[in-house]
Amino acid sequence: MARRSDHSREELIEMALSTAERFLGQQSIHDISARQIAKAMDYTVGTLYTLFSNLADLQLQVNGRTLAALHSSCLAMDSTEREPRERIQAYAHAYSEFAREQPFRWRAVFTRILPPDEQLPDWFQARVNAMFNMLEEPLRQLAPAKSEIQISEAARTLWGSVHGITALALDDQLFSQSRSVDAMTDELIFRFLDSWVQH
């Protein structure tokens, strides 16, 4: 069993988060315990709770890292040379691909882990907002006359719809043998944008 002095606090936090992420590669966030993480780190559960206020705190930080990785995956598909519609399409494809490749990690982000009366911390909400803000720039280019509220609402409506298709596809609930997830997502995006820009 390792001692706390073997690693710095920062190293221990990174070890804990990386270990939790590794488990999320194979199982649901509901199935991951503090004892399981501590054992894999070769530390005690007590040490884990000197780093995080509780298991929900650890899980929230893991989900924050997942959001950052998801955001980076989407932006990696970006190119300022692309037309705004193509940029939105690329973001959506990257989003769905991330979910297909890392389903447990992706699902964990949308799993409520805090008590109902506890709000998300500002740093986490900022990462959620970054996902929507990413869409707002190309939407603004498509319809510069739209208000900021209209653009913000459109980003959330569109992203929520892409999320829905992605979630149904992961659960094999789309019931379509002839069309891929990307094809369905593309139709959604282009039909939405055609209507939204004109009205």
State percent of the chain over pLDDT 90.
Answer: 80
Residue 95 belongs to a domain: yes
Is 185 found in the same domain as 97?
yes
Do 38 and 73 have their domain in common? no
Can you give the pLDDT at residue 80? 63
Residues 109 and 68: their CA atoms lie apart, in Å, by 11
For the cut 80, the answer to whether the pLDDT of residue 176 exceeds it is: no
How far apart CA 91 and CA 78 sit, in angstroms, is 7
**What contacts 65, CB < 8 A, 6 or more positions away?**
17, 21
**Per-residue pLDDT at 133 exceeds 70:** yes
Evaluate if residue 39 carries a pLDDT over 60: yes
Q: How confident is the model at residue 1 (pLDDT cuts 50, 70, 90)?
A: low
With bands split at pLDDT 50, 70 and 90, how would you rate the model's confidence at 118? Answer: confident
Q: List pLDDT tens digits, range 69-101.
A: 999 999 998 766 689 999 999 999 999 999 999
178 and 85 co-located in one domain: yes
**Same domain (yes/no): 77, 2:** no
Do the domain assignments include residue 102? yes
Given a cut of 70, whether residue 163 has pLDDT beyond it is yes
Between CA 58 and CA 64 the distance in angstroms is 10
Angle at 77 between CA 72 and CA 94, to 5 degrees: 75
User: Is residue 5 over pLDDT 80?
Assistant: no
Asked if 74 and 97 sit in the same domain, the reply is yes
In angstroms, the CA 184 to CA 92 distance is 11
pTM of the model as a whole:
0.90
Residues whose CB falls within 8 Å of the CB of residue 25, separated by 6 or more in sequence, listed in order: 102, 104, 105
Residue 120 lies in a domain: yes
pLDDT, averaged across the chain = 92
Q: Could you tell me the maximum CA-CA distance found in the chain, to the nearest angstrom?
A: 64
**Closest-CA residue to 151 (of 197, 85, 198):** 197
Question: For residue 138, is it within any domain?
Answer: yes
So what's the pLDDT on residue 95? 95
- pLDDT over 70 at 18, yes or no: yes
Q: Are residues 177 and 96 in the same domain?
A: yes
For residues 31 and 84, membership in a common domain is answered with no
Overall number of domains in the chain: 2
Report yes or no: 97 and 33 within 8 Å, Cβ to Cβ: no
Q: Are 174 and 121 in contact (CB under 8 A)?
A: no
User: What share of the chain has pLDDT > 70, as a percent?
Assistant: 95
Quote the radius of gyration of the chain (alpha carbons, Å). Answer: 19
Together in a domain, 23 and 99: no
- What range does the domain containing 115 cover? 63-198
